[in-house]
Every structure is written in structure tokens, then in C-alpha cells.
A = this chain, B = another copy of it.
Amino acid sequence: MAKMDRRIQKTQEALKNAVIELMGEKDFDNITIQDIADRANLNRGTIYLHYQDKYDLLDKLIESQINELEEMDKWACDEDWMDAFIPYFEYFKQNHLFFSTMLTSKGAGPSYFRTRLLAHCITGFKSEIDKESGKNSNLKDDVILQYAGTAYVGVIEWWILNGMPYPPQEMAKQVGALLERSL
């Protein structure tokens, strides 16, 4: 995601917010391209410059959100295991509308987003499994990853859908501690 033309950024941002808003009001299948264009204050044709149809739009929106997470992976890497999660939970908080909408939406398959998010987390955890201390010598990587991944996603989901009852730092500390035990 080097540098994108400002107009594309704005268009995508407007579309993202429009979709989030509309999905809060009706089922995704009942949302029309015209609705999205109107809400985003864009010409309908503009949408087709970037996407095939509304499903492709939703896909790519999710994709780009996941990509932002991947971007964060590169920066915060070798920090303390607890603090490493602070920026993530701050990010979740900033985009909580997106996450809560995507995690609860019924329309576009029962949370296709959840699946994508889980896959991303598992990929990210792969290189973090402790291979040295021997504590995992009897455990399969598959199992560890699935365990830690669903746990992590589950906590994120719980935190978002319950109004983010703890501050990001607290969540980062807790989740960091738990993940360190699991991996």
C-alpha cells in the first residue's frame, strides 16, 4: 500500500463508511449500489471503476482492513510481548464500528469477515510459537495455532461487541499474557 492517489483513498473511505452505516440499517443483500453511492456521496459509476459489484466491494473492503493489520505487523515486531498488542487494540477501538458491524452482519454469509480475521491472526502467530523452551514439544502446531487464534479473535469480538469495557492497554496486557502462555 505504498502511496495511493488521494482520490482513491477518499473514495474507498467514503464507501467503507457508507457500507458500515447501511449494514447497521438493513441486511446487506437488501442494500443497493445506488444506496451505497448516495450514502457515500459518490456517482454510482465511480463504484464500478473499482469494484465488480457490491459483493466484490465488501470483499475488497474487508481485504483492505486486513491489509492494514498486516501493515501493523511489520512495524511493531520485536517489542515487549505485552506492549506489542497496544497498537492493535487501539486500532480495533478506532475502527470498532467496522468490526462490530462485520462481526454481527448476517447478510454476507455468517461473518465471512470473522473467518478472514482468524486466518490472518493464525498466520501472524505461526512464527511466534515457542520452539526452544520445550514446553510445546508434545503439541501440534496446528492445534496451538487454532487454539490461540480462536481465543484471540474471540476476545476481540467480545470486547468490541460489549462496548469495549476495558481500555486498550489493559486488553493488550491481558491478552499478551495469555497468548504468551499458549504459544
Contacts and interface: CB of A to CB of B under 8 A. Distances in A.
Interface residues of A, number: 5
A10 interface: yes
Interface in A25-60: 41-43
A6 interface: yes
How often does this chain occur in the complex, in copies?
A: 2
A145 to B, nearest CB: 40
Nearest to A14: B10
Contact of A41 (B10, B41, B42): B10
A43 B42 CA distance: 19
Interface of A: 6, 10, 41-43
5 contacts: A6-B41, A6-B42, A6-B43, A10-B10, A10-B41
The 3 closest A-B pairs by CB, nearest first: A6-B41, A6-B43, A10-B41
